[in-house]
Structure 1
Amino acid sequence: MAVFFIIQNKKYRVTTVKAVGLVFATLFILGVITVYILMPPITIPNMTIANLVIGTAGMISLYALTKSKPFTKSTKHFDTITGALILFAIIAIPGFILLGILSLDDAHQSIATKEVEEAKPLDQDATPIVVSPEFARNKVQKAMSVVPNTQFYDLGKLQVQKVNNDIVFVAPVEFTGFWKYFRGKETEGYFTISATDINAQPKFIEGKMKYTNSSYFNHQVSRTIYNAHPNYIQNGEPQIEVDEEGKPWYVQTLYKPIGLTNKPNLQKLHAAVVDPVTGDVKLYKSDQAPEFIEGSISSEMASEENEYFGKYVHGWLNSIFGKKDVKIPNESGTETSVTPLFDENGAMYYFTDMSSPKENIDSALGYTLINARTGKLTYYNGEQNNGIMDSKGAKEIVNKEFPEKKWTGSMPILYNIDGNPTWVVNVLDPNGLFKHYAYIKAADSDFVVFGDTARSTLESYRLALAQDPSNVESTGEASLEKRNGTVERVLVTTQDKNQVVQFLLQDDPIIYTVNSGKAPRAIFLQTGDKVELEANIRDNQTAIVETISIEGLTTTPEQ
C-alpha cells in the first residue's frame, strides 16, 4: 500500500514518503499497544481481520495526508489499492463468518460422547452434597482479616478440588486494583475451606505469589501464558489448584482452532500450568496434566462443550429452524452454568441438566457429566424417567417454600436415589448462609424433604420414599439382607391415607419399616409374632422392608 501511494504521487513524492513514514510509525505503535492489551491469539481469522483494520486505517490516513483521491476525475472508479482492499474485506469477513457457522457441526462432532439411559443409583453410604460456593465464599470473606495488608486484597475465584483426599474450595487472595498491585507487587497466599462440611472454618495458607490474575503487565497470568503460547486460544479465567505439598499453581485451558476458524477441537484440549512464583509455564494435554490438577478443563470450556453438544446436534441451521433433537443447557450451575462434583473414585465432573428449547417447558430432557480432565461427555438421556422437572423448577420449589425469609435454592444436582430421580438443593439465606438441604423428587414437585445435614436429610428422604404408596420399589437396585426374629414392639401410623408399620425385633436394634401397600397383612402384626423378611438396612439403624413373611398369618412372603 505504501509503495502504491509513493508511486502514484510523483509530483509530491517527498511529502508522500513522509506521510507513509508517519502513518506506518503511528499504526505500528497503536498495533503493538492493541495487541499487548487485547492479546489476540495468532489464528488466521484474527490476523486477517487485524490486517484489514490496519489496512483500512492506513488507507484512510494516506488519502488524508497526500494528494491521492479514492476516485479519479475521469471515471469515478475506485483506484487499484482502494478497490483491492474493499474486495478483500467483502470476501474475507463474510467468509470467516460462514466458515465459523459451518464448523459448528465439526465442533459438535469433536466431542467424545457416551449416552446412558439411567444414572447409577446412589450408594447408601454416599453423601454426595458439597457446600455451595456462595456459602463458602461468605465464610472466607469474613476471614480475610487474617491476611497481612488485607486492605490490598480481595478474594479470587473459588475452585473446588481434592487435596489429600479432602474435597475443598481453594481461593487465592487477589489485588483490588492497579495501585494496590503497584504497592504490594506480590499477593500473600490462598484460602481453603471444606466443600463437604458446612461447619468447617476457612484456613489461610501463606505464600507469596507474583504471577496472579489480578497482577498487571507481564505478571498477569493470562499474559504470561500468551507470551509463551500466543498461537493457542485461552478459554475462561485461569484458576488456582494446589498440589499435595500445598503449593499453588494457576491452570488455564487452551486449544487450537478447527481449520480457518476460532472454533475448538474438543478432542485436543490443553492445559497451561503456571508457577505463580517464577512465572514458568508448562503445557500439557488436558488428560496428561499433573495428577493433582482435577480441573485441567475449565468450567467455561465445559459450558461451551454443553452448548455445542445440545444446540448444534444437527448443525447451525437446525438450531434456528426445526430444532430437531436440540437440547438447551440450563444455567443453574455454580460455575459458568455448570456444577463441579466428584464421583466415588475421586474424579471430578461438571454437571448440567438439559431442557427443551420450547418456552414454558420446565421438564428435563436429561443431563450431562463432563470429565474435568478428559472432556469426555456422558449424557444421561432420562428416557426411563420422562416428565421429571429441570433444575430451574427445583430451585423455584425451594424459593416458594420460604418466601417470607427470602431463602433461595442453590446448586441443584440430580441424583438417582433408590431408583428415584432426585434433585438435591442447598437452601441459602439472602447473605449466602446455609440453612437447609432440600431433597425433591424430580417426578413429583410436592414430594420434598428438608434437613439440616446431608446424611440426615438423605435418610429422611429414603424413609419417606419407602412410606410413599406411589413408590412400588423404593429401594431400586440396593442390596437386600435377610433377617428373622420375634417382634418385640409394633407401631402403626397413617401417612397420606396409607398405613405404615414400624417394628422392633428381639435383640435387634434395627427399626424396621414396611409399607402396607407392599405388605397388606403387615397391619395385623403383633408383639410375639415370628417373621422372616428381606430389607434394605441403613447404617443409621433403620431398615426398609421389601418382603415379609409372618408365621401363622402369611404362608408365602408378602410382595
Structure 2
Amino acid sequence: MITALGMEEIMFALFAEITLRFTALGVLVFLAGIISLAVSGHKKRAGWDLGVFVLIALLCYGWIYITLPEPSMSYTVTSNLIALVVAALIQAGFAVNAVIPKVNIEAGKLKVHRKDVSPDRKMGASKFGKLAGWGFTALIIAFAVFAFLNVSEAKKVANLAPVSSDNSTANAPMPVVSGKNKEVPVVNTPATVLTQINNSLSNIPNANVYDVSHVRVQIYHNKMTYVAPIDFDGSFFRFMRYKKVDGYFTVDATSKTAQPKFVKKSMYYTPAAFFGKDVRRLMYAHSAMSGYVLMNNTPQLEVDEQGTPYYVATLVHRYGVTSRQDFRKKAIVTINAETGQAHVYKNLNNKPKWLDVALDPTTAAAQVDAWARERNGWWNANGVGGARNGVMVAVTGSGTEADNDEVTPVQYGDQIYYLEALTSARSSQTSVMGYAFTDAATGKSYYYRENKDAMTPDRAQKLAKDMMKQTGWKPKMPMLYRIDGRPTWVVSMLDSSHAFRSYVYLLASGNGTQDTVATGSDATDTLAKYRALFGATTASGSGAGKLRKVSGQVLRVSQNGDTVSFLLQGKRVVYAVSAKADPFAPFMQAGDQVSFKARVSGTTGNITGQVTNSALAATKKDAK
C-alpha cells in the first residue's frame, strides 16, 4: 500500500506534469532563448534568464494548483499560445542588448571575438518579437474558431446525448404505490437532514472543529439513505492540529422518525483538507491527463456496503475543441477517504457495484438541458427570432440538486434516478410537457412525453402552500409517484426549522381541485385519503388491497375536504370514503353501527361503494 507521504509526492509530481501540459510552448521558447544566450557567451544573462524561467514556472505551478484549470483541448491550446507569447516577449527583452559574436576563419584557424554590430544587435530580439506577434495572432484566431464551433456544433452535440424518447409516461420509472407495490415516499429533504445532523454534531468528539455542508443520496443496505460527511470548518490551523475527521452520518430518507447515525471512520482525505490530503486536488491530479475534465462540483461521499467511505466525482469529455460536453463519454474518479488511494474508471460499466451515483446531478441536468433545448439547433433555441421549435426547459427551484435546483433523486427498484420536469420555454405556462429520468449509475437519460394537462412541480408546491397557508409551513421536494396508476405529486411540508410536518398528495393532472388533493401527517393516512377520492377502482382498473366485508362500531371520525376517514372499535385500520361516492358519509358519528366493503392493505382501507349506517338507514330510505 502506498503511504500517505507517497500519495502526496505522487500528487505534486502529477501537478508538475499538468503544468507542463499547459505551458509546453512557453517552456520551449524559454529554453531556446537561454541556450542562445549561453552559446553566444552571455552566461550571466543566460543565468538571469534561467532564474526568470524558474520563477515563472513556479508561479504557473502555483496558479494551476490553486485554480485547477480545465484540461480540455481548447483550454490547453489557448494556454500554450498565451505561454508562448509571454515567453517570446521576455526573450525579446533579454536579446535586445545581446552582443553577437563574430566568427572569423583565418588560415585554418578559428577566431571568435565579441563585437557589438549596431545594425544587427537587435536581430535576436526581432526574431522573438515576431514569434510573439505570430503567437498573439494565432491566439485570436483560436478564440474565434472555438467560439464559432461552440455555436455551430450545438445541434450535433445535443443529438449525440444518450437520451431515449417515449411518447407516453406508461413506462416511466416512477416509484409505484399500489396493492402489490408499496414504495414509501421520501420524507426527509436534504434541508431536514442537514438540520438534524447539525443538531447531532455536539455528540461527537471535537464537534467545534467540524462542519457538515452536503448530503448524498444512495442505496445503502437496500434502503434509500442520505450520507453526510463531516469536514473541517476551513481553518488551516485546526486542520494542522487534528489532521483527520472522525467519520460521517447516515440517515434513512424514508422515515420521518429517522435519527442521524454517526459512523466512526478515520478520514484523512477530505475536500476541506490541505496540501496532499485535499480530495479535489487529488482527483484533479489523477484525472487531468486522462482526457477527461473534472466538474466544478464538490466531491460527494458515498460508502460501500461495509461502510468504507469514498469521495466520488464525475469526469466529462469535451466535444472536439469546443467547451461543450460530449455526453457519450463519462468517467468517474474515486478517492478512498481513509487511505487516499485513487481510481479513475473511464468505463462506467467497470465501476464498483456499490457505487450507485456515478453521474452527479449537475452533469445529469446539463445533459437533459442540452438535448431538450438545442436538439433542433442553437439559433432555434437562443437566437433572436428563433422559432423555438420543440424547445423545452427544466422546471427550476422545485428540486433538491444541481445548480438551479431542477433535479430530484428518486428510487425506482434498486436504482437512483434524477427526475426533471420539462416545460415550455414560455415562463407563463405551468403545464408539464414531459419528464426526464436520468439513471445515476449508467448516465443515460429517458424522456417520457406527458399527454395530459399535468401541472409542473413548482405549481404543485404553490398549491400545497396555499392549502396550508394558515400553518406557515413551506413546501419542499415535490416527488412524482404512480399511485394506483395515477401520476401524483407528493409534496413534503416543513416548518421554519426544516422539520417535516405534513404530506400533500396532488393528482398531477388534477389542477389542484379539492377532489384531487389529500393531506395528512403521515404517508399511510394521506394515502388512504387520497385513494378515497377516486372511489373503488384504480386508474389501471385493478383494486388496491384485498376486498373484504367489514362491520363494526365507529370509534373516531375525521374529514378533510371530500374525504371522510374513521376508525372502528377493535380494528387498527384507517377506513376512508369519498363524500362524492357516499354523500351521507360526512354525517357519520362515533358510536354508529356501520357495514361496508373495503379493499384493505395493511392499516389502510379504501371503501368501495357506500357505507351502510344503521343510524341513517331511515334517512337514506327517504332519500330514495
- What TM-score, normalized to structure 2? 0.74
Q: After the TM superposition, which of the residue ranges 403-412 and 436-445 deviates more from structure 2?
A: 403-412
Q: After the TM superposition, which of the residue ranges 392-401 and 176-185 deviates more from structure 2?
A: 392-401
The one-letter code sitting in structure 2 at the alignment partner of 1:330 is V
1:345-356 to 2 correspondence within 5 Å? 345-356=413-424
User: Which residue among 147, 158, 177 is the counterpart of 1:123?
Assistant: 177
- Offset of residue 516 of structure 1: 6.4
1:21-100 to 2 correspondence within 5 Å? 21-61=50-90, 67=96, 80-100=130-150
Instruction: Tell whether the 8 Å contact from 1:368 to 1:378 is kept in structure 2 after alignment.
Output: yes
Partners of 2:549 and 2:223 in 1: how far apart? 42
1:416-431 to 2 correspondence within 5 Å? 416-431=482-497
The answer to whether the aligner puts 1:339 opposite 2:408 as a matched pair is: yes
Aligned identity (percent) is: 26
Partners of 2:490 and 2:310 in 1: how far apart? 32
- Offset of residue 215 of structure 1: 0.9
Partners of 2:563 and 2:138 in 1: how far apart? 79
Aligned to 1:413: 479
Structure with larger Rg: 2
Aligned to 1:456: 525
The one-letter code sitting in structure 2 at the alignment partner of 1:273 is T
Aligned to 2:503: 437
- Offset of residue 537 of structure 1: 4.5
Aligned to 1:466: 535
Instruction: Tell whether the 8 Å contact from 1:475 to 1:536 is kept in structure 2 after alignment.
Output: no
The one-letter code sitting in structure 2 at the alignment partner of 1:316 is W
Deviations 1:468-505 (A, max 9, x none): xxxxx654343478968798899xx9x9999999999x
- Offset of residue 195 of structure 1: 0.7
Shift in alpha-carbon separation, 1:412–1:109, aligned structure 2, 3 A = same
Shift in alpha-carbon separation, 1:369–1:498, aligned structure 2, 3 A = closer
Shift in alpha-carbon separation, 1:99–1:498, aligned structure 2, 3 A = closer
Instruction: Tell whether the 8 Å contact from 2:185 to 2:490 is kept in structure 1 after alignment.
Output: no
- Offset of residue 529 of structure 1: 13
Partners of 1:466 and 1:316 in 2: how far apart? 48
Deviations 1:118-143 (A, max 9, x none): 24573322223341111111111100
1:256-405 to 2 correspondence within 5 Å? 256-284=317-345, 285-320=347-382, 321-331=386-396, 332-336=398-402, 337=405, 338-343=407-412, 345-383=413-451, 385-386=452-453, 388-403=454-469, 405=471
Instruction: Tell whether the 8 Å contact from 2:563 to 2:576 is kept in structure 1 after alignment.
Output: no
1:188-207 to 2 correspondence within 5 Å? 188-207=246-265
1:540-555 to 2 correspondence within 5 Å? 540-545=603-608
Aligned to 1:155: 212
Partners of 2:57 and 2:187 in 1: how far apart? 52
- Partner-residue secondary structure (3-state), 1:411: strand
The one-letter code sitting in structure 2 at the alignment partner of 1:453 is D
Aligned to 1:222: 280
Deviations 1:486-542 (A, max 9, x none): 98899xx9x9999999999xx9x995857766x99x9xxxx99999x8x75543352
Partners of 1:497 and 1:24 in 2: how far apart? 78
Instruction: Tell whether the 8 Å contact from 2:565 to 2:575 is kept in structure 1 after alignment.
Output: no
Instruction: Tell whether the 8 Å contact from 1:4 to 1:81 is kept in structure 2 after alignment.
Output: no
Partners of 2:246 and 2:302 in 1: how far apart? 16
Partners of 1:30 and 1:103 in 2: how far apart? 35
Shift in alpha-carbon separation, 1:265–1:547, aligned structure 2, 3 A = farther
- Offset of residue 186 of structure 1: 0.7
Instruction: Tell whether the 8 Å contact from 1:426 to 1:438 is kept in structure 2 after alignment.
Output: yes
The one-letter code sitting in structure 2 at the alignment partner of 1:392 is D
User: Alignment length, in residue pairs?
Assistant: 524
Instruction: Tell whether the 8 Å contact from 1:16 to 1:66 is kept in structure 2 after alignment.
Output: no
Instruction: Tell whether the 8 Å contact from 1:501 to 1:516 is kept in structure 2 after alignment.
Output: no
Partners of 1:134 and 1:371 in 2: how far apart? 24
Shift in alpha-carbon separation, 1:7–1:186, aligned structure 2, 3 A = closer
- Offset of residue 156 of structure 1: 3.7
The one-letter code sitting in structure 2 at the alignment partner of 1:95 is V
Deviations 1:324-347 (A, max 9, x none): 11111122211213111111x211
- Offset of residue 323 of structure 1: 1.6
The one-letter code sitting in structure 1 at the alignment partner of 2:294 is Q
Aligned to 1:476: 540
Aligned to 1:240: 301
Partners of 1:18 and 1:511 in 2: how far apart? 91
Shift in alpha-carbon separation, 1:511–1:38, aligned structure 2, 3 A = closer
Instruction: Tell whether the 8 Å contact from 2:563 to 2:577 is kept in structure 1 after alignment.
Output: no
Shift in alpha-carbon separation, 1:162–1:180, aligned structure 2, 3 A = same
The answer to whether the aligner puts 1:249 opposite 2:278 as a matched pair is: no
Partners of 1:247 and 1:26 in 2: how far apart? 42
Instruction: Tell whether the 8 Å contact from 1:411 to 1:426 is kept in structure 2 after alignment.
Output: yes
Deviations 1:209-267 (A, max 9, x none): 11111111221112112222213211232111111111111111113322223433323
Deviations 1:347-388 (A, max 9, x none): 1111111111112222221111111100121212102x13x2
- Partner-residue secondary structure (3-state), 1:142: helix
Unmatched 5+ residue regions in structure 2? 1-28, 98-121, 123-127, 586-591, 612-624
Unmatched 5+ residue regions in structure 1? 73-77, 468-472, 549-559
Partners of 1:496 and 1:136 in 2: how far apart? 29
- Partner-residue secondary structure (3-state), 1:143: helix
- Offset of residue 175 of structure 1: 0.5
Instruction: Tell whether the 8 Å contact from 1:273 to 1:282 is kept in structure 2 after alignment.
Output: yes
Partners of 1:16 and 1:31 in 2: how far apart? 22
- Offset of residue 91 of structure 1: 1.1
Partners of 1:371 and 1:148 in 2: how far apart? 38
- Partner-residue secondary structure (3-state), 1:105: helix
Partners of 1:226 and 1:359 in 2: how far apart? 39
- Offset of residue 403 of structure 1: 4.5
User: Which residue among 107, 131, 155 is the counterpart of 2:157?
Assistant: 107
- Partner-residue secondary structure (3-state), 1:358: coil
Shift in alpha-carbon separation, 1:105–1:536, aligned structure 2, 3 A = farther
Shift in alpha-carbon separation, 1:306–1:22, aligned structure 2, 3 A = same
Partners of 1:223 and 1:363 in 2: how far apart? 43
Shift in alpha-carbon separation, 1:252–1:529, aligned structure 2, 3 A = closer
- Offset of residue 305 of structure 1: 1.5
Instruction: Tell whether the 8 Å contact from 1:6 to 1:13 is kept in structure 2 after alignment.
Output: no
RMSD across aligned C-alpha pairs, in angstroms?
4.1
Partners of 1:226 and 1:536 in 2: how far apart? 57
Shift in alpha-carbon separation, 1:80–1:181, aligned structure 2, 3 A = same
The one-letter code sitting in structure 1 at the alignment partner of 2:260 is P
- Partner-residue secondary structure (3-state), 2:479: strand
The one-letter code sitting in structure 1 at the alignment partner of 2:314 is T
- Offset of residue 18 of structure 1: 6.0
- What TM-score, normalized to structure 1? 0.82
The one-letter code sitting in structure 1 at the alignment partner of 2:328 is Q
Partners of 2:147 and 2:372 in 1: how far apart? 21
Deviations 1:37-61 (A, max 9, x none): 1223433212112123323433554
Instruction: Tell whether the 8 Å contact from 1:171 to 1:192 is kept in structure 2 after alignment.
Output: yes
Q: After the TM superposition, which of the residue ranges 414-423 and 137-146 deviates more from structure 2?
A: 414-423
- Offset of residue 144 of structure 1: 0.3
Shift in alpha-carbon separation, 1:209–1:418, aligned structure 2, 3 A = same
